[in-house]
Amino acid sequence: MMAWFFDKLLNSDSDKQDPRLNLIAADLKNLPPVTIISAGIDPLRSDGDIIADKLKAAGNNVTHQFYPGVTHEFFGMDAVVVKAGQAQDFAVAQLWKGWAR
């Protein structure tokens, strides 16, 4: 299904190398601090791990917060998923931390 979504995003095969769409192929040096929030039950979980590792290898400050037992779209479900509220609070704290620089 992910291939279907990606196909709808691209105008041509060359778009697959556009660094805005293919972060693995992008130059990720000298970026501001990055926060990645990942869910345990997510088809994109490994993507979060891969990009966090690539960002760290490029010398960036990366915080990768993992929430086991929740699904891909958990972040907006704070009314019924406790970890969603925790993730939102974490994201807000990271934003405040970044703005204080």
pLDDT digits (tens, 9 = 90+) for 6-47: 788 899 988 888 888 888 789 999 999 999 999 999 998 999
CA 85 – CA 23 distance, rounded (Å) = 28
Assigned token pair, 101: 């620089």
CA 13 – CA 43 distance, rounded (Å) = 23
From the number of C-beta atoms within 10 Å of its C-beta (0-12, 13-18, 19+), residue 87 rates as buried
pLDDT digits (tens, 9 = 90+) for 49-71: 999 999 999 999 999 999 999 99
Helix ranges restricted to H, the chain: 2-9, 45-57, 82-99
pLDDT at residue number 48: 93
